[in-house]
Every structure is written in C-alpha cells, then in structure tokens.
C-alpha cells in the first residue's frame, strides 16, 4: 500500500465532506460575478487536485465549481467534469479567473458557440487552450483567439469539425497583420482543415514545434516556403499525403523527432528514403500502409535508420521478422506490432571474439518496456510458443505486454513464459479475447509478477464471472495492487 502525503489526505478529507463547504443553490451562485469562499487561498495545483478527487469519487457538483474557481486560479482542467460544464460556468470563469494562462475544456460539448467566443476577450493571458471535442467551436473562435490572445503557445481543437481553413487564416493573420506568433503546438486532427490551412500554419508560424493534422481527409499535397522549420513532432496519420509532399517535409523539417504516418494510403516505399534522412528521428508510426512491405521496404529502412528509434509502430504489416528488428533497433523502448500477419519470432545471433550465442528480441533491445502483439498471426513453420519465447523470454525490463486476440495462446505457453522470463518489472498484461487460457494461468501470473498493476481478462471464454471474483480475492489476500478487468 503506497503512503499518502498529508496534503493528499487533507484534500481527500475536504472532498469527503464537500457539502459542508458549499450549500448555496446553483441559482443563487449564477447571480453573482464574484464569490468569496474558503478555497481562495489554495493555489491552482491544489484546486485541480481537489477537482480530480471529486470527479474520481463521482461527487462533483456545479455548486462546487463556483467556489473552487476563484480569482487566483492560473490553470485549470475542466475536462475531468466535462458533463457539468455549461455556459454559466464558463461565464463565471471569464468574470473571476482573469489570471488563467492554461485552460482545458476538452469534451465540454455542452458549451455554445456564444459562450466559447467570449473566452478570448475575457482571458487575454491565455497561453494554452484545449477545445478538443467542443462541437460548437467555429472559425470565428480561432479568429478571436488570434486577435485577443497574443501569448498563445498551445492550441488543441481536435474533433472540432466546424473548423476550416478560414479559422487558420483568422488565427495566423497575414503578412501585414501577423497574429499568434508564439504558437508552438497545434492539434487540428479531425477538423475540416485542408492542405491550404496546413500550408498557411507552417509558413506563418516560425516557432511551431508540434503539429497534428491526423484524419484531416482533404490533406494531400502542400508546399513549405520557409527554408527550415523548428518542427520536432508531426502527425499526418489517416491523410492522403503524397511522396512528393513527404520529400518537402523531410527537407524543410530536419529536426523532426516524432513522425506519425499510420494509414497514409497514398504513400509508397519511396517516402522511406526521405524519412531515413531525418537524423534526429526517435519515434516512427508507420503502420497499416499497404504499399510498404516489411520485406524489403521496412527492413531496408531499419538497416539505415533503425538504431536511433525508441518507438516503432509497424502495426498491420505482413511477414514481419523480429530478428531484423533486434539487429537494427537496439534502442527500442516501445514496439507496436498489433495485427501483423505471418510474424516470425526469431532468435538473434550475437558474436563476440570469445563466443557466439542466440538471444531473444527483448535481450537484443534491452530497454524495450512496452510490447504490443495484439491480434498477431504467426507463421506456421513452428509453434506459437517458439515464436513468443524468441520474442520476449528472459526479459527483465518489460513493463507492458499486450497478447490480446492471439487465438492459440494457452495456459501451457503462459507457463513457459513465466518460467523463462524475469518478470519483476511487468506491470500491465492484456489477455483479452484469448479463448484458450484459464484462470489458473492468470492466478499464477498474479502470484509471480509482484509489481503487476493491471491484468485484462475481458472476453476470455474459459474464465467465468466466478473465476474472476475468486482471482480478485487472491489479489486481495496477496496484498497486491493489481486490478483485474473482466467482461
């Protein structure tokens, strides 16, 4: 059992009896622009922690927000209680919280366009705002942010489907009247922005470092006039970006560290040559691109650029051989091979002046801590156990392992895994949709992995509700903190 600080215990106690601190009616509170209350001395961090506790315990009420959101609050995340956030609450924030620099309204979908448009003029010190999922957010809102919030550095408007290129024009201004020149991070995923909007943003924002345009379906080709951008993270997943555009991006953005190109159906293997030129690249998501094959395209790329990667996502690839990954990607910390087919789990041969030996993938990549093999189909030239043992047996650093949806995964294979691995760091295991495993192997895993925090057994046909309840009792008796998920 982890020790709690006096601060956390005090906040828990306040949350438990929150009704003692706030007994006014909501109707009364909405009448007043300013409310003096017992929490005015708490800083923003403590206010947020109290909001989080109340939300986790499902005890938060609108009247609580009126006394917690006082005039000295500088940052607040209201997404933890998004279902309660309405126009009246945001109006109160605008009146009282003039010092706010960071505001998160993610998934606060009850807010009207009128209420949203009041935010920029009320909170002119804003440096970061998250409006993701605020369905009433329009181009006019971005225009107002550009006009009233010159210090803005972070803008997240994911899934604001009413936004178009006109909003980007309003946000960035033009050559005669530039706006928001300090933007460093922008998320425009799942909006109506097209190639024009992306081009406008990248060419007008010299300080931009992190951008997401994922699932903006009208994006294909765009040009960058700036000789060199400071961009370090770019997400173009589920767009129609082309090889030609990829060539320009890799040339103009030499500092890119993170690149996400999952399911970019217009890309071909040619783009891998351009991506290989990115000497700072650490994170690459390039799954579900049918024009790219593991052999020879991804394999050749990994030979050139795999050694610097710490995150690799090749989900949905065919004929993946883990030997190539082990040889070329020694620095990997996260590997996603979900839904790969014809996978071959191969041992890697390591030779020194004194000896030659065969090691597993997790030994070849000693920092590998997250491994996702969800729904993988393995080649038939050897057994599933042989494939899996060659991938992650004798692991000492693995923390998260996803084996969900692997049809032939059985108790016997799990037993071999337990016997051959160092499991001291394993914290999360996903066995969901594995129809052949039983509660016995799950119980053995819980007893063996002392640091296990989460075990997912959802939709395991051989594990009944009674089995799951008995397993939870075993966890309690062992004084383990593991959480068992079962449906």
Concatenating the DSSP letter of every residue in 28-45 gives HHTT-S----TTTTS-HH
Question: Each residue's pLDDT tens digit in the chain (487 positions)?
Answer: 455 788 888 898 888 888 877 765 544 555 556 666 788 889 999 999 999 999 999 999 988 898 899 999 999 999 999 999 999 999 999 999 999 999 999 999 999 999 999 999 999 999 999 999 999 999 999 999 999 999 999 999 999 999 999 999 999 999 899 999 999 999 999 999 999 999 999 999 999 999 999 999 777 778 888 888 999 999 999 999 999 999 999 999 999 999 999 999 999 999 999 999 999 999 999 999 999 999 999 999 999 999 999 999 999 999 999 999 999 999 999 999 999 999 999 999 988 777 888 999 999 999 999 999 999 999 999 999 999 999 998 888 899 999 999 989 999 999 988 887 767 789 999 999 999 999 999 999 998 888 899 999 999 999 999 999 999 999 998 888 899 999 9
Residue with tokens 């949905």: 316
Separation between Cα atoms, residue 149 and residue 168, nearest integer Å: 15
- Note whether 179 and 150 are within 8 A (CB): yes
- For the chain, the straight-line distance linking the first and the last C-alpha, in angstroms and rounded, comes to 27
Residue with tokens 């000497």: 279
Instruction: Give the angle subtended at the CA of 345 by the CAs of 343 and 351, to the nearest 5°.
Output: 140
- Note whether 155 and 185 are within 8 A (CB): yes
Concatenating the DSSP letter of every residue in 173-233 gives B-SSSB--TT--EEE-TTSS--HHHHHHHHHH-TT--EEE-TT-TT-------SS-----E
Separation between Cα atoms, residue 144 and residue 137, nearest integer Å: 11
Closest CA to 460 of 442, 479, 481: 442
Q: What is the pTM of this model?
A: 0.91
- Note whether 71 and 97 are within 8 A (CB): yes
Query: Residue 66's pLDDT is what?
Result: 84
Separation between Cα atoms, residue 141 and residue 41, nearest integer Å: 33
Separation between Cα atoms, residue 92 and residue 26, nearest integer Å: 12
Query: Residue 1's pLDDT is what?
Result: 43
Query: Residue 359's pLDDT is what?
Result: 93
Burial 435-455 (b: 16+ CB within 10 A, else e): ebbbbebbbebbeebeebeeb
Q: What are phi and psi of 122, to 5 degrees?
A: -80, -35
Instruction: Measure the CA dihedral 216/217/218/223, to 10°.
Output: 60
Q: What are phi and psi of 485, to 5 degrees?
A: -105, 125
| Percent of the chain as helix, strand, coil, to the nearest 5 | 35, 15, 50
Separation between Cα atoms, residue 412 and residue 418, nearest integer Å: 10
Residue with tokens 């992306």: 198
Segments of 207-304 assigned E as strands = 210-212, 233-235, 258-260, 283-285
With a CB cutoff of 8 Å and minimum separation 6, the contacts of 4 are: 12
State the burial class of residue 7 (Cβ atoms within 10 Å of its Cβ: 0-12, 13-18, 19+). Answer: exposed
- Write out the two tokens for 259: 């690149």
With a CB cutoff of 8 Å and minimum separation 6, the contacts of 423 are: 395, 398, 448, 449
Separation between Cα atoms, residue 15 and residue 231, nearest integer Å: 42
SS3 485: strand
- Write out the two tokens for 45: 């961090």
> Taking the CB of residue 459, how many other CB atoms lie within 10 A of it?
15
Concatenating the DSSP letter of every residue in 315-353 gives TT-BS-BHHHHHHH-TT-SEEE-TT-BSBB---EEEE-S
With a CB cutoff of 8 Å and minimum separation 6, the contacts of 119 are: 90, 94, 103, 126, 129, 141, 144
Over the Cα atoms of the chain, what is R_g?
26
């Amino acid at each position: 059992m982890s020790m709690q600080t006096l601060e956390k215990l005090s906040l828990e106690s306040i949350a438990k009896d929150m009704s003692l601190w706030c007994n006014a009616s909501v109707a009364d509170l909405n009448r007043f622009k300013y409310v003096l209350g017992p929490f005015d001395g708490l800083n923003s961090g403590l206010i947020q922690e109290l909001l989080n506790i109340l939300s986790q315990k499902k005890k938060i009420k609108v009247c609580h927000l009126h006394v917690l959101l006082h005039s000295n609050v500088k940052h607040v995340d209201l997404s933890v209680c998004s279902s309660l956030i309405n126009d009246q609450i945001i109006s109160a924030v605008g009146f009282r919280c003039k010092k706010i620099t960071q505001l998160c309204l993610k998934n606060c979908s009850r807010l009207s366009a009128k209420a949203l448009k009041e935010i920029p003029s009320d909170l002119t010190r804003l440096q970061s705002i998250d409006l993701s999922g605020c369905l009433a957010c329009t181009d006019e809102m971005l225009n107002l942010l550009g006009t009233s919030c010159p210090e803005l550095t972070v803008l997240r408007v994911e899934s604001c489907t009413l936004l178009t290129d006109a909003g980007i024009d309003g946000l960035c201004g033009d050559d005669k009247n530039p706006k928001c020149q300090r933007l460093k991070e922008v998320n425009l995923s799942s909006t109506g922005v097209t190639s024009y909007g992306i081009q406008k943003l990248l060419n007008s924002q010299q300080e931009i470092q992190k951008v997401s345009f994922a699932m903006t379906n009208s994006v294909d080709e765009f040009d960058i006039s700036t000789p060199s951008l400071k961009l370090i993270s770019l997400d173009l997943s589920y767009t129609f970006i082309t090889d030609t555009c990829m060539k320009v991006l890799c040339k103009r953005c030499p500092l890119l560290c993170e690149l996400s190109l999952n399911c970019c159906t217009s890309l071909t293997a040619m783009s891998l040559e351009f991506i290989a030129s990115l000497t700072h690249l650490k994170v690459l998501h390039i799954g579900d691109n049918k024009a790219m094959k593991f052999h020879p395209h991804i394999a050749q790329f990994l030979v050139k650029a795999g050694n610097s990667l710490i995150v690799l996502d090749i989900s949905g690839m065919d004929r993946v051989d883990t030997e190539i990954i082990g040889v070329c990607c020694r620095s990997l910390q996260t590997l996603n091979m979900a839904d790969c087919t014809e996978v071959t789990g191969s041992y890697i041969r390591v030779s020194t002046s004194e000896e030659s030996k065969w090691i597993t993938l997790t030994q070849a990549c000693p920092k590998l801590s997250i491994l996702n093999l969800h729904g993988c189909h393995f080649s038939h030239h050897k057994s599933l156990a042989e494939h899996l043992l060659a991938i992650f047996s004798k692991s000492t650093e693995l923390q998260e392992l996803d084996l969900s949806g692997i049809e032939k995964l059985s108790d016997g294979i799990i037993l071999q895994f337990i016997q051959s691995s160092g499991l001291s760091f394993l914290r999360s295991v996903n066995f969901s949709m594995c129809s052949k495993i039983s509660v016995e192997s799950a119980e053995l895993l819980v007893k063996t992995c002392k640091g296990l925090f989460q075990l997912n057994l959802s939709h395991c046909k051989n594990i009944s509700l009674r089995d799951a309840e008995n397993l939870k009792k075993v966890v309690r008796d062992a004084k383990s903190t593991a959480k068992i998920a079962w449906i």
